[in-house]
Amino acid sequence: MENTQSTKPTIPPFFNAVEPEKTTLREWIWLAVIILIAAFLRLWRIDQNGTGNSYYAACVRSMLMNWHNFFFVSFDPAGFVTVDKPPVSLWIQTAFAKLLGYRGFILILPQVLEGIGALALVYHLVRRRFGPWAALFSALLVAISPVSVAVDRYNNTDACLVLVLLFAAWAFLKAVETGSRPVLYLALILVGVGFNTKMMAAFVALPAFYLTYFTGAPFPWFKRLWTLFVGTIILLVVALSWPLAVDLTPPEQRPFVGSTQDNSMVSLSLGWNGFQRLLALGRRGFPRRPGFPNNRAAAIPNPATPAPGGSTTPQGNLASTSSPHNPMGPATQGAGPATQGLGRRGGGFMGSGTPGPLRLADKIMAGQVTWFMPLALLGFGSASRRSPWTWPLSPLHQNLVFWLAWLLTYAMVFSFMRGAMHPYYLVLMVPAFASLTGIGVGALWLDFQGGKKFLIPGLLLTAAWQAHIVFQYPDWRPQILPLLLLGAALSVAGLYSGSIPPDKAPAFREWIPSSLALGLCSLFLCPVFWALTPILGSGQPVEADPDLLSGPRGAGAFRGFEMNLDTAKLLGFLRAHRQGEQYLVVAQNSQLVAPIIIQTGEPAIAIGGFMGGDPIVTANQFARMVQEGRFRYMLLPDPNPNQGRPGPGNGRNFGGNAGGFGGFGFGRGGAQADIAKWVREHGKPVDPSLWKPALPPAPAAPQTQAGGQGFPGNFRGRGGLANLQLYDLRPDKG
């Protein structure tokens, strides 16, 4: 009788759903290689990103100056207005800058380390229950995930939030398995730290945490509910500790809370960084972010133009201006500029698609993270059947439920968000996607060895999904699609040979492991290429997109909020003419003064906060500041930017009554419009030859994606000063 045992292939235990005993040397080597790949992708050509997001880079420069600015995350050295984020990530960046020096690489280094730390935590969490190879595969997916590479190369707060949530996930899963209440409370404390990293974005993960604890903790259901209730109280205390500390500080002793209408950090947490961003609530709910597009907003009539020293606004008399931290005294109440539409794509004008169930299938969104989605979902089903379901859930099913709930919760929120949405937000889905894919591929492989062929349709569906994403980029179809489809076809053919009886084709079965490896390598081709686009592309992207290789992507030029101003000549003029004024220069939004703060640390201020619509001062108060000699010069949009030179004009579209570029005033009316009007009536334009660098002719206006008009005018090009005018508000001083 023929010995069929010899015809069986030698297949290594590629994945095992067991608690591993000891890390082998080979495993350490593979993990080190994956970490080196991650570090390479995050550090190669990192200098091209400069200081990253100038808004946060200026904040770190200001925070380095004193503890007051550090605690309140002041955007400017004068402590005039805060940034619109909580402090944890920015505190870490400031600590690095204090120890290693303030420069672009040091500002981005914490995010690089946080990204590598997230990779290590995903590896550890998956390895505990699903073995070393599933863990290594998941870690590799984190390393090459396009959105992770882009985010970790930047100085936004998202990389820090991912790491904090993964630490919380580690504690939560430990608490579920052991029933330890102190560890559960530690997990919720870490989520509270996450809230102070990016506010309500951290709370989106809570349904996954609570569901896992309730279905898996070894307690009666009433005790589980009580433990979660106590833990939630601890969570809220930690989460709200810093916002309440800010709000309880007298307004005259701290900066104005940026991106709010009421000078409240709690309002910022629940409004612009919370329900407003999720639901796009307008004036009937939380106030829409000042200066942000809103087709439904009606124009607010302009109050009478104030004269210096007078008070014609509804706010009444001027408040005290004695405080150095809040030069305007107590915050005044008033509506910011009303806004009008800017050709939004249903709330997704940042290139994030239209809110709805198919949003994550949009070509920009899909290319950030979803490359292995079919394998992840099929693999979940396969892994969940490897052991019987019990109540409470077994540790294996606890982990599966946790990762799936994390993924689905963030997917639903990001799919239906009607407020401002950026593709890089999807980095919060990476840990769940990577873990489910690593676990799922291992489970499908084990099923394949047992005679179940779900691995083959999983590979085919994943290849088809990737082909769908690539097909939307005509310039790259010929280079990528043949390799992807050929590799997938050969892999499936090799795996299918495993169903041939051994006595008929024994040699075919020896190809099975190689066929799987070929299929996985072909599926890694697209995400690796996408991960290289923010490295090799133009600009300072915080997303992955092949269009970056051929120039900035229309409205995506706004993606990093960076603005590179050639300020050398401007600074020389301002310093030469400064005669004891407290502030070097004033503008309506942060993007105009951020480069000055980054380069010099001088007290340049944004009178309207980030977007230029914060009601920090009224026009009366502004006039009083000028009279008191607090500042002399202000940057505003030039209403006639192309007089005497070629190039498209945008003064009418991006100047306007709301301050335009200087205030990101997309609509008309409000305090910033009154300030801009007063400046143009009472100030004297400074000869551009005295402070503007020589500029080439303006290029043609960039085209945007279909469905969106983008941001009018010139946001980043031509030195950034072409369409601005400097006004001398005290021309009598000579």
Structure confidence at residue 485 (pLDDT): 92
pLDDT (tens digit per residue) in 143-179: 999 999 999 999 999 999 999 999 999 999 999 999 8
The average pLDDT across 675-690 equals: 92
Continuous segment of H or E residues that includes residue 727: strand 724-728
pLDDT band at 723 (very low <50, low <70, confident <90, very high): confident
For residue 518, is pLDDT > 70?
A: yes
pLDDT (tens digit per residue) in 654-665: 333 333 333 344
pLDDT (tens digit per residue) in 57-81: 999 999 999 999 999 999 999 999 9
For residue 316, is pLDDT > 90?
A: no
| Distance, CA of 409 to CA of 406 (rounded, Å) | 5
Cα 534 → chain centroid: 14
Q: Which of 248, 258, 264, 252 is nearest to 59 (CA)?
A: 258
In this structure, is the dihedral angle defined by the CA atoms of residues 424, 426, 431 and 434, taken in order, positive or negative?
negative
Residue 657, amino acid = N
pLDDT above 90 as % of the chain: 57
Domain boundaries, the chain: 31-238+355-455, 568-696+709-733
Structure confidence at residue 449 (pLDDT): 81
C-alpha distance from residue 178 to each of 207, 213, 392, 393, 502 (Å): 20, 11, 12, 13, 46
pLDDT (tens digit per residue) in 107-134: 999 999 999 999 999 999 999 999 999 9
Higher pLDDT, 244 or 279: 244
| Distance, CA of 94 to CA of 97 (rounded, Å) | 5
Structure confidence at residue 672 (pLDDT): 84
- Residues 6 or more apart whose CB falls under 8 angstroms from that of 460 comprise 488, 492
Structure confidence at residue 669 (pLDDT): 56
Q: Which of 50, 31, 36, 34 is nearest to 153 (CA)?
A: 50
pLDDT (tens digit per residue) in 543-602: 999 988 886 543 343 444 444 566 888 999 999 999 889 999 999 999 889 999 999 999
| Distance, CA of 108 to CA of 145 (rounded, Å) | 18
For residue 328, is pLDDT > 80?
A: no
The average pLDDT across 286-314 equals: 34
Structure confidence at residue 565 (pLDDT): 61
The average pLDDT across 433-457 equals: 90
Q: Give the number of other CB atoms < 10 A from CB of residue 629.
A: 13
Helices 477-496 and 455-471 cross at an angle (nearest 10°) of: 170
Three-state secondary structure call for residue 728? strand
The full DSSP string for 111-168 is: HHHHHHHHHHHHHHHHHHHH-HHHHHHHHHHHHH-HHHHHHHTS-SSHHHHHHHHHHH
Q: Which of 37, 58, 119 is nearest to 603 (CA)?
A: 58
